[in-house]
Homo-oligomer: A and B are copies of this chain.
Amino acid sequence: MSRESARAVIAQALSQGRTNLTADEAGEICRAYGLPLPAERVATDAATAADAAREVGYPVALKVLSSQITHKSDAGAIALGLSDDAAVREAYGRIVASARAYDPSATIDGVLVQQMARPGREVIIGAVTDPTFGKVVMFGLGGIFVETFKDVTFALAPTSPARASEMLGEIQGAAILQGVRGEKPADLAAIADVIQAVSQLVTDLPEIDELDLNPVIAYEDGVLAVDARIALRTSEHNGRPRPPRDEILASMRRIMMPKAIAVIGASNEEGKIGYSVVRNILDGGYQGQLYPVNPRGGEIQGLPAYTSVTEIPGEVDVAVFAVPAARVAAAVDEAGQKGVAGAILIPSGFAEIGEQQLQDDMIAVARKHNIRVMGPNIYGYYYTPANLCATFCTPYTERGTVALSSQSGGVGMAIIGFSRSHNMGVSAIVGLGNKSDLDEDDLIEYYGEDPNTDVIAMHVEDIKDGRAFVDAASRVSKQKPIVVLKAGRTAYGARAAASHTGALAGTDRIYDAALREAGVVRARTLEDLLDWSRALSMLPAPKGENVLIVTGAGGSGVLLSDSCSDYGLTLMEVPDDLGLQYKELIPPFGAYGNPIDITGGEPPETYRKAIRLALMDDRVHSLILGYWHTIITPPMVFARLLGEALEEAKAAGKVKPVVASLVGDVEVEEACRYLEERGVPAYAYAAERPVAALAAKYRWARQAGKLG
């Protein structure tokens, strides 16, 4: 049976106004994709049913074929475990009669005679259509496992063969398929083949909304998909238009590095947004042309004002809007006539308060002119390499290499405060708000080629186009870490998100799978988003998995070890020769395994030598330091000697990630700041956060293939 016939089956069902396919139809489609369904025949009387049963082999099941009867068990339209001709003949009459009684109006197309499966390990393989990411394939243990333990995993469809195989290991009960208690493994390759085929099937046939193979029975040799159900979709998935990559980049370059900016609704009146935006652009030190636009003309904050953007003499790259929502569309139209690349829509009053039509109309105008729209309902954006503060918040000038975006203004302000107070330099902060057009994927494309950006950090409430996001992120994350905080990942959070922006609450496990495939480092909290972004920008990439802990406090060593276990870091087995060098260095009651415990009473020289050993040895890929405040080695003495050791190692070409936990009296805070300025994420009174920060770097490095 060909794949074209599968299309025909779907077309016929839809033409009949049906979205549920019969078992026969579902089976036909699955067989067209080579899925291992039981052998079966259709029979229209008791005698041919018995013939068919002998052909497929006993025992068999009989199922009434009727598109109107979907719950066949309830209708008594199924007979199982029939083992001879007489039983088949008897069952035929019985289930047809039962189906007729259940629904006298149903058309009965005959009876399916189906080979029954031997017992084996049951799994479920299915596919759904996610509103954000489209076709997604699911795999898990079948039966009560899937219901009770929800032990399933997802992947974007279509999967690669490697990804399909990987899924088998991602469920909690993976060992059951690999064989427990001396049992032989199930045919893992055959299961992976089914996953891949299902993912291809739903990709080829987008009209399929959901597909369930449940159970698929896995044997030591082969698998059998006992039951297939398929539901079709009536509505089309509306992808948003996405310009070609070179167009995205061309627009983004003009937006982030504009030669000229117009402020629509510029004002001389303090407290107005149109005032703050002009003020901030000026105070931020922007060097390009700035054109205030106000119908009254005159002078605004010392600059000549234009009555319309079209009156401006030179070219304009960006227009920042500070006019009421109702006037935005007309103003965008004027900006379009002027050839503006980007419209920055600070105003609120659009989709977030239910005015979807107003927003759609505005976007239609922008599309006509090829204008990219940021917002609406945002604080604006910052780009520090251009000294650009196009926002009604405060000027912000702490340059660095982290580019952040947020869907919420509150989170945007948290980014500003945190970065100022925690030594996190920033290249860009962008408010995305309603994301009527410009989206995370556009930013990722730009940051990917932006020499001023090394790390990309995003607060996301919903992703508008999941596939575009995964496409852009999976390319760029190979070069630059992308950290994402997906808000609304719990039922409570999704409820709040829905009342906030009307964003569709995505199923979090699908988000999780998609973000992983995109190579994203996923942060669970705002704290982690901010802290990890900072650490990712400070730390060099590790060259391997070997992590060494060197500590002055045994107690810290234990806590740091616990965190390494929690965050999936590998404490290296210290090679004998290195262990011996440590043994010579530290008191007999210290420890020279991993952690290396140099003990608390040691002078600076012991710390220095212990650190140097770790930095200079190429077998140590990352270093976690646990410092204990003592009178003999005070905090700043430790911080300085570590700084020197790092310089020395760097001069010798030895660069590796180093993080530090400092426990002690308040002086350790100063030492932390000193170390942060030298590229060491350092934390006072903390043993988890330095490890979590290093682990974020590892999560990125692993997926980017940096560990060799």
Interface residues of chain A, those whose CB is within 8 Å of chain B, are: 144, 147-149, 172-173, 175-176, 180-181, 271, 276, 348, 352-354, 393-394, 406-411, 413-414, 416-418, 420-421, 459, 461, 485, 487-493, 495-497, 499-501, 524-527, 530, 549, 551-566, 571, 588-589, 591, 593, 595, 597, 600, 626, 628-629, 631, 663-669, 684-689
Contact = CB atoms under 8 A, between A and B. Distances in A.
A558 B500 contact: yes
Given A487-B562, A493-B558, A562-B489, A353 B527 contact: no
Given A489-B562, A527-B688, A593 B499 contact: yes
A659 to B, nearest CB: 15
Given A353-B588, A665-B420, A565 B492 contact: yes
Contact of A414 (B526, B554, B685): B685
Contacts of A560: 496
Nearest to A569: B492
Contacts of A493: 558-559, 561-562, 565
A472 to B, nearest CB: 23
A352 B555 CA distance: 12
Contact of A525 (B175, B492, B668, B688): B688
Contact of A665 (B271, B413, B490, B499): B413
Nearest to A489: B562
14 contacts: A352-B589, A410-B553, A410-B554, A410-B555, A410-B600, A411-B556, A413-B663, A414-B685, A417-B667, A496-B561, A499-B591, A501-B554, A527-B687, A530-B685
The 5 closest A-B pairs by CB, nearest first: A408-B555, A410-B553, A490-B565, A493-B562, A353-B589
Copies per assembly: 2
A417 B663 contact: yes
A500 B664 contact: no
Among A492, A591, A595, A665, max chain B CB count under 10 A is at A492
Contacts of A354: 589
A631 B275 CA distance: 13
Among A147, A394, A600, A665, max chain B CB count under 10 A is at A665
Nearest to A459: B555
B144 A180 contact: yes
A526 B411 contact: no
Contacts of A418: 684-685
Contacts of A689: 527
Nearest to A418: B685
A702 to B, nearest CB: 19
Given A148-B180, A554-B408, A421 B666 contact: yes
B421 A527 contact: no
A435 to B, nearest CB: 13
B408 A553 contact: yes
Contacts of A589: 348, 352-354
A491 B565 contact: yes
B459 A527 contact: no
Contacts of A175: 147-148
Contacts of A555: 406-411, 459, 461, 487, 500
Contacts of A554: 408, 410, 496, 499-501
Contacts of A149: 149, 172-173
